[in-house]
Structure 1
Amino acid sequence: MTDSSYVFDLLIVGAGPAGFACAYQLRNQDLKIAIIDQATFPRDKICGDALSADVVNQLYRMEESLGEKFEKFAEKIDSHGVRFVAPNHTSLAINYQNPNQGNAAGYISKRLDFDHFLFQEIENQSNVEIFQGEKVLDILSSSDGIELNTATAKFSGSIIVGADGAHSIVNRKLGNIKVEKDHYCAGIRQYYEGVSGFHEDQHIELHFYKELLPGYFWIFPLPNGQANVGLGMLSSEVSKRKIDLKKALTDLIQSKPHLRNRFKNSIPLEKPQGFGLPIGSKKRPISGDRFLLLGDAASLIDPFTGEGIGNALRSGRIAAEYIIKAFENQNFTSDALKQYDKMIYHKMWNELRVSRQLQKLLKYPRLFNFVVKQANNNSSVRTLLTSMLDNVDLKKELVKLGFYLKLLFGDIR
């Protein structure tokens, strides 16, 4: 039996980046917004903790002062590039181009800190009330509105937003996105301190070992001499090959000589933590009568990199536009809200599709070895790959046979 009843215009489940962006974009609207989260902030979120150029871009697009405030945020480090380690253990370091107004193209910040930074930006927003420590137990949708129940309260609204991550109850109750192992990744994260050998420009590192393909092992530097270490693989491969990810993480660190040397004076700060990644490798319905799904709840994670924060922020920003239209027209039907789906995939599908194709190419380790070798021997190839990190139209070249023929015959200048 619930103790309290609340009536709002909009219910947002989840106070992470997607829920934040949606609420923040509605800060000047005459809408009463409830944000319901089962956690109490600050709270951890198992993740790689890397913040791409698009994350910074989305903050600036929401409001320039928000981007500037993030630039001054202390609990982060600049990251100026990425180090790829090929299956044959040769490495390639590439610096990012910087398309943003900020100091660096990318950053690394624990989600404990970054999400709390965002949380504090909406905590005192005049049209928002945040309910922490409230686990959603049930959601009911009718022609009259949405009803949401927790253990202690009942919430009513005209529309609900699912920004509650990979195991979204909004999707489970109202949506139709099912877990498909070929479109889902399993990951393991473990924090360390004392890992050595990082690039002077604080590159994130992606190690593509043959035994993990089409997944990868990562090492990301963090503030205060710490590191985020982990690995991710397609769930279908984990299941088919019966891989124990926690054991695989430990075995890699102990068995690879170059890793063993870098970890010899390190100290693990936690036990390995598992998490799931619903990747954006197929189009799905992400709205319906009186609901929208955002971020991880909408399976908008990049299939190649596993990055999802930028797309979470973008989806929240876009969702706000269609929520405003829904209230203006008093139309919360599936037909009206499916325009949100169309806009999301108009903005994101091109890159998600290319990333899925790149993920499939990881099944061919010799191809990866070849590209790294050519890039290390040819500055023009390195420059092209640098541009590809930020430009999806150039990135498309990586999935074309012609690109590899040009590499083979030295025809990239």
Structure 2
Amino acid sequence: MKDVSFDFDLIIVGAGPAGFACAYELKNPNLKIAILDQGTFPRDKICGDALSADVVNQLYRMDQALGEKFENFAQKIDSHGVRFVAPNHTSLDINYQNPNHGNAAGYISKRLDFDYFLIQKIENQPNVKIFQTEKVLDISRSLDGIEVKTNKRQLTAQMIIGADGAHSIVNRKLGNIKIEKDHYCAGIRQYYEGVTGFHKDQHIELHFYKELLPGYFWIFPLPNGQANVGLGMLSSEVSKKKIDLKKALADLILSKPHLKDRFKNSIALEKPQGFGLPIGSKKRPISGERFLLLGDAASLIDPFTGEGIGNALRSGRIASEYIVKAFEKQDFTSHSLKLYDNMVYHKMWNELRISRQMQKLLRYPKLFNFVVNKANSNSSVRTLLTSMLDNVDLKRELVKPGFYVKLLFGG
């Protein structure tokens, strides 16, 4: 390789959880890092805003002090469980099991606040320079390095990280992940205030209406009496059924009797906001020569729940290890960086695969109704479902026919 001078060693596109985690984990290696984000913080990110126990655990794994700072972060509320509403409108409340850290197994925080909390933890990191309102327009790769053109400047580096979400330009220019409607969800979010009827322990709510399956309608409580309301569906189903998501959202709130009462004195705080969710329902190439893809850009969103923040943080952590190795060896080849793909799927694929199978089960609303009814009438079944929320091995039982045979005959 000829002697080339670079502006930075590493460019990270996207300053959300995945990009943050990658940069935070690289605070000690002697690497000069640029982070580019097209927004200005604090900035909104269209999302459900729920933060699972895994999000908290990832922060603690990165740094005990970071996890403790998040526990003291004011712009969030504790969430101690989940309410499932079956297609027959029967509800089931399940409390999370005791968490490993802090006072709650889950939290809810607007991404406007949560992402700002994260970026503040790296804005003074000596080896990091953050460029805001910096939209990446083009990326080119040569044998010697990477060149990035933004709306303001051109930058060069030896390596680039795509942490820039569902519509990643790093993937579009360098990667090979295509939008496939059967592996992609369309979502819509709208903030409200004045929604009533939440569980006393601030459960998140997933409503599985027959007309949305295998998707769902959600209501998540937020700080200051607000709520995150929305729905998500497989893009293939949206196309097949010719569904207008904005109209569907409004119609559900107005037509479902148990929702009408809860929303009758509510106020919409914004117009419905649409977004895309590339779900992790198939393995994809998430690296190549001189680049890695992280988080949503790597399509690591849980197919069943739509949750992606925990996997975004985890992918950032994993990426940092392979970035350090690449610079130590000065080996940025696709063959070498493929080890990152292997580790990501070693850590995540089992749960992603099971979640995909659970998503497919949602095509059978009578089965969902049966499980919810059984859990409401049998405390042992309810306890088992509680354990399944966090235990991948137990969750695997949900996709086996034998599990439902046992429920049917009282096993």
Q: Specify the alignment match of 1:255 in structure 2.
A: 255
The superposition leaves residues 115-156 of structure 1 with CA deviations (integer Å, 9 ceiling, x where unpaired) of: 000010011101000000010011011110011011221111
Q: Specify the alignment match of 1:215 in structure 2.
A: 215
Q: Specify the alignment match of 1:183 in structure 2.
A: 183
Aligned-partner SS, 2:212? coil
Q: Specify the alignment match of 2:154 in structure 1.
A: 154
Taking the aligned partners of 2:187 and 2:136, their CA distance within structure 1 comes to 25
Aligned-partner SS, 2:27? coil
Q: Specify the alignment match of 1:374 in structure 2.
A: 374
CA contact (8 A) 1:161 1:293 kept: yes
Taking the aligned partners of 2:244 and 2:208, their CA distance within structure 1 comes to 18
Q: Specify the alignment match of 2:343 in structure 1.
A: 343
Residue identity matched to 2:310: G
Shift of residue 233, structure 1, vs aligned partner: 0.1
Aligned-partner SS, 2:190? strand
Aligned-partner SS, 2:28? coil
Structure 1: any 5+ residue segments left out of the alignment? none
Q: Specify the alignment match of 1:363 in structure 2.
A: 363
Q: Specify the alignment match of 2:77 in structure 1.
A: 77
Aligned-partner SS, 2:137? strand
Taking the aligned partners of 1:142 and 1:324, their CA distance within structure 2 comes to 21
- RMSD of equivalent CA atoms: 0.8
The superposition leaves residues 79-112 of structure 1 with CA deviations (integer Å, 9 ceiling, x where unpaired) of: 0000000000000000001232111000000000
CA contact (8 A) 1:6 1:154 kept: no
Aligned-partner SS, 1:390? coil
CA contact (8 A) 1:13 1:164 kept: yes
Q: Specify the alignment match of 1:410 in structure 2.
A: 410
Range 107-116 or range 93-102, more displaced: 93-102
Q: Specify the alignment match of 2:35 in structure 1.
A: 35
CA contact (8 A) 2:134 2:151 kept: yes
Q: Specify the alignment match of 1:334 in structure 2.
A: 334
Moved over 2 A (4+): none
Taking the aligned partners of 1:342 and 1:205, their CA distance within structure 2 comes to 34
Structure 2: any 5+ residue segments left out of the alignment? none
Residue identity matched to 2:259: L
Shift of residue 6, structure 1, vs aligned partner: 6.9
Map 1:14-413 onto structure 2 (within 5 A). Answer: 14-411=14-411
Range 5-14 or range 133-142, more displaced: 5-14
* TM superposition score normalised by structure 1: 0.98
Taking the aligned partners of 2:158 and 2:104, their CA distance within structure 1 comes to 41
CA contact (8 A) 1:220 1:227 kept: yes
* TM superposition score normalised by structure 2: 0.98
CA contact (8 A) 1:195 1:266 kept: yes
Taking the aligned partners of 1:352 and 1:151, their CA distance within structure 2 comes to 36
Taking the aligned partners of 1:183 and 1:102, their CA distance within structure 2 comes to 35
Taking the aligned partners of 1:37 and 1:6, their CA distance within structure 2 comes to 20
The superposition leaves residues 211-248 of structure 1 with CA deviations (integer Å, 9 ceiling, x where unpaired) of: 00000000000000000000000000000000000000
Taking the aligned partners of 1:17 and 1:233, their CA distance within structure 2 comes to 24
Residue identity matched to 2:286: I
Residue identity matched to 1:117: F
Identity score, percent: 84
Taking the aligned partners of 2:213 and 2:21, their CA distance within structure 1 comes to 34
CA contact (8 A) 1:147 1:154 kept: yes
Taking the aligned partners of 1:205 and 1:24, their CA distance within structure 2 comes to 32
CA contact (8 A) 1:185 1:278 kept: yes
Taking the aligned partners of 1:287 and 1:374, their CA distance within structure 2 comes to 45
Residue identity matched to 1:236: S
Taking the aligned partners of 1:346 and 1:150, their CA distance within structure 2 comes to 35
Taking the aligned partners of 2:51 and 2:71, their CA distance within structure 1 comes to 12
The superposition leaves residues 1-55 of structure 1 with CA deviations (integer Å, 9 ceiling, x where unpaired) of: xxxx970000000000000000000011100000011111110000000000000
CA contact (8 A) 2:6 2:158 kept: no
Residue identity matched to 1:12: I
* Number of residues of Structure 1 aligned to a counterpart in Structure 2: 407
Taking the aligned partners of 2:100 and 2:155, their CA distance within structure 1 comes to 40
Taking the aligned partners of 2:138 and 2:219, their CA distance within structure 1 comes to 39
Residue identity matched to 1:334: S
Residue identity matched to 2:105: A
Taking the aligned partners of 2:151 and 2:385, their CA distance within structure 1 comes to 52
1:12 aligns with 2:16: no
Taking the aligned partners of 2:350 and 2:267, their CA distance within structure 1 comes to 41
Taking the aligned partners of 2:99 and 2:200, their CA distance within structure 1 comes to 21
CA contact (8 A) 1:83 1:205 kept: yes
CA contact (8 A) 1:53 1:98 kept: no
Taking the aligned partners of 2:322 and 2:154, their CA distance within structure 1 comes to 25
Taking the aligned partners of 2:316 and 2:107, their CA distance within structure 1 comes to 21
